[in-house]
Chains A and B, each alone.
Chain A
């Protein structure tokens, strides 16, 4: 079952602009993660934010988490053509027998035009 839903599905911006992607989820979480996927490649982990954190930074990335609204946003500042990729949020969930796993959204496809 899908937990996270990214919005928008696709985003096209000019180099140098900021890109904001949103993720909404349904049930309570312990952490939320963002991943990037370049075309034809595997996912790459970007950042993890815990449920007791509200904001986290990593280089040009800024992630916020609002547990009351069950939503998160990923901001990429001063975007570059190399940021062109799909971005996924992943939330933790309970699987079979209470095991812990990640559930991924369907992603936002970001295109940064030079």
Chain B
């Protein structure tokens, strides 16, 4: 079975550039989550969707971050403009249950902003 697929796996870009991270959830899962992981702050929930609708975006750091889910099989997380403090590993996860049930994670995108 295909798991959650994220692309790219690694991204290195310069400050000020636009960054777009992509996620394909497990087919049939109607919950999709975006997390950010850093040594200092651990794993933080940024935003999550249910049936393509954003439910909780209270973790999105600021207006530079935006997320979309145009259909059930695709989501993007965009950072524009990017800053060095955005460097982190970004994970996408999906679930077929409510937001507090087991989640399936992708292998993440390691983002470095120079």
Contacts and interface: CB of A to CB of B under 8 A. Distances in A.
Interface of A: 2, 30-31, 33, 40-45, 48, 88, 92-93, 95-97, 99-107
Given A31-B100, A92-B100, A95-B58, A101 B48 contact: yes
Contacts of B56: 95-97, 99, 101
B38 to A, nearest CB: 10
Contact of A41 (B45, B101, B107): B107
- Across chains A and B, which 7 residue pairs bring their CB atoms closest together, nearest first? A42-B105, A92-B100, A95-B56, A106-B42, A100-B100, A100-B99, A96-B56
Nearest to A102: B100
A42 B91 contact: yes
B42 A104 contact: yes
Contacts of A97: 55-56
B25 interface: no
B57 A96 contact: yes
A43 B103 CA distance: 9
Contact of A33 (B91, B102, B105, B108): B102
A89 to B, nearest CB: 11
Contacts of A102: 45, 99-100, 103
A105 B48 CA distance: 19
A94 B105 CA distance: 21
Interface in B35-59: 42-43, 45, 48, 55-58
A31 B105 CA distance: 19
A19 to B, nearest CB: 20
Contacts of B104: 45
A82 B4 CA distance: 23
Contact of A30 (B91, B100, B103, B105): B100
